[in-house]
Homo-oligomer: A and B are copies of this chain.
Amino acid sequence: MSKPRRRATTHDVAAEAGVSQPTVSLVLSGNPRARVAAATRRRVIEAASRLGYQPNMLARGLVTRRSYALGVVVPDLDNPFFTEVVSGAQRVAVDAGYAVLLCDARGASAADHVTALRGRLVDGIILDAGSAGILSLQSVGDTNVVVVDEPASSWPTVASDAREAGRIAGRLLIELGHRTIAFLGPAIGTHTFRMRERGFVEALREAGLTIDSHHLRRVPASVAGGARGMQALLSMEDAPTACFCVNDLVGIGALKACLSAGVPVPERMSIVGCDDIEMARIVTPELTTVRIPAREMGARAARLLISQIEQDSAPRSDRLLPVKLIERQTTAHAFTDA
């Protein structure tokens, strides 16, 4: 058994098998129904395995103009929601023979990442909410793109029913008898965040309630932001008895702030988050939330992108993925004081 100092190429395999290089290419990569005699095919395959041949994807990509790689751009890897999306996407991608190039947009701008990905000739790019807004069609050229959770964009999109998520949260709190309900979320955010807020406000309005403007607090969509927002709410004279948080990180921050301030949850304050990340089950009390199927969204985005690449068709699956209320321990009936 020889130790090949250099990676074996199709030429090496050809020499080993006593055929020409194109024949090797035909056997090993071309349509499996290519017209090659069975005996030849076997010889080639044996020679290839003997030499440990492994195709050079760069060379292949150069001529086919395909890299069998997908780019995934997320705004923040530390947000577990996105790692779930990535995880779902990667599973599908790998099964279909694609590699995944991951970009955390915190480092450089999303546009820079997209440029880098295009340079590597990725066959397509999955852009997660928050990364998509900035980009113009111009900057991605003719690269295939699927956007997650930003349905306003001009690309095919996979999104959850964010408005319904907000409504569900609002209705739950109303049914529990709450009348003074707050909202914590960022001022300018993704389409998804805006729709969650909108659905929530709609649910209140349908019940004949309104939300006081100072109960609608603008905070960053993070644990720290949620904590700050809840502190502010608790210090108000007309403090709310319940709060819908734009995502679970904010909800967890809000919960922490309540506990630190000695406000029992859910007895004195009901909190509803959104996403259902693993942390929601880990905090005590466990966070009531609206589940967004992150992993499935990632998987669906990858499937959509791949079918777009391979069949050159854009199914544009515009159906919104359903969301689901997960009642846990941070919600309870409103405490009637008097």
With A77-B87, A87-B77, A90-B102 already in contact, the answer to whether A121 and B56 are too (CB < 8 A) is yes
Checking B7, B86, B118, B120 against A102 with a beta-carbon cut-off of 8 angstroms, the contacting residue is B86
Give every chain B residue within 8 A of A61 (Cβ-Cβ).
58
Of all chain B residues, which has the CB nearest A223?
A: B282
Residues facing B in A216-261 (CB within 8 A) are 223, 252, 255-256, 259
Per the bound structure, the CA–CA distance linking A116 and B141 in Å amounts to: 27
B54 touches A101 (CB 8 A): no
Give every chain B residue within 8 A of A255 (Cβ-Cβ).
284
Of all chain B residues, which has the CB nearest A253?
A: B282
| Residue A154 is within 8 A (CB to CB) of chain B in the complex | no
Checking B58, B99, B120, B141 against A7 with a beta-carbon cut-off of 8 angstroms, the contacting residue is B141
Give every chain B residue within 8 A of A119 (Cβ-Cβ).
54-57
B83 touches A77 (CB 8 A): yes
Checking B87, B107, B117 against A91 with a beta-carbon cut-off of 8 angstroms, the contacting residue is B107
Per the bound structure, the CA–CA distance linking A116 and B95 in Å amounts to: 12
Per the bound structure, the CA–CA distance linking A43 and B100 in Å amounts to: 37
Per the bound structure, the CA–CA distance linking A279 and B253 in Å amounts to: 11
Measured as residues with beta carbon below 8 angstroms from the partner, the interface class of chain A is: 35 or more
Of all chain B residues, which has the CB nearest A119?
A: B57
| Residue A115 is within 8 A (CB to CB) of chain B in the complex | yes
Give every chain B residue within 8 A of A133 (Cβ-Cβ).
none
Q: How far is the CB of A62 from chain B (nearest CB, A)?
A: 5
| Residue A23 is within 8 A (CB to CB) of chain B in the complex | no
Per the bound structure, the CA–CA distance linking A69 and B100 in Å amounts to: 12
Give every chain B residue within 8 A of A57 (Cβ-Cβ).
119-121
B94 touches A108 (CB 8 A): yes
User: Which interface residue of A69, A86, A91, A102 has the most chain B CB atoms within 10 A?
Assistant: A102
Give every chain B residue within 8 A of A118 (Cβ-Cβ).
54
Q: How far is the CB of A173 from chain B (nearest CB, A)?
A: 22
Of all chain B residues, which has the CB nearest A4?
A: B141
| Residue A296 is within 8 A (CB to CB) of chain B in the complex | no
| Residue A197 is within 8 A (CB to CB) of chain B in the complex | no
With A99-B120, A103-B100 already in contact, the answer to whether A278 and B78 are too (CB < 8 A) is yes
B104 touches A101 (CB 8 A): no
Of all chain B residues, which has the CB nearest A258?
A: B284
Per the bound structure, the CA–CA distance linking A59 and B120 in Å amounts to: 9
With A256-B282, A256-B284, A283-B283 already in contact, the answer to whether A100 and B99 are too (CB < 8 A) is no
Residues of A within 8 A of B (CB): 7, 54-59, 61-62, 67, 69, 77-78, 80, 83-84, 86-87, 90-91, 94-95, 99-104, 107-108, 113, 115-121, 141, 223, 252, 255-256, 259, 278-279, 282-284
Other 4 A-B pairs with CB < 8 A, given A55-B119, A90-B104, A223-B278 = A56-B119, A58-B120, A91-B104, A94-B107
Could you list 6 A-B pairs, sorted by A, with CB under 8 Å? A90-B104, A90-B107, A91-B107, A94-B103, A102-B102, A282-B282
Closest 10 CB pairs of A and B: A102-B102, A58-B61, A57-B120, A58-B58, A57-B119, A58-B62, A94-B107, A77-B87, A77-B83, A91-B107
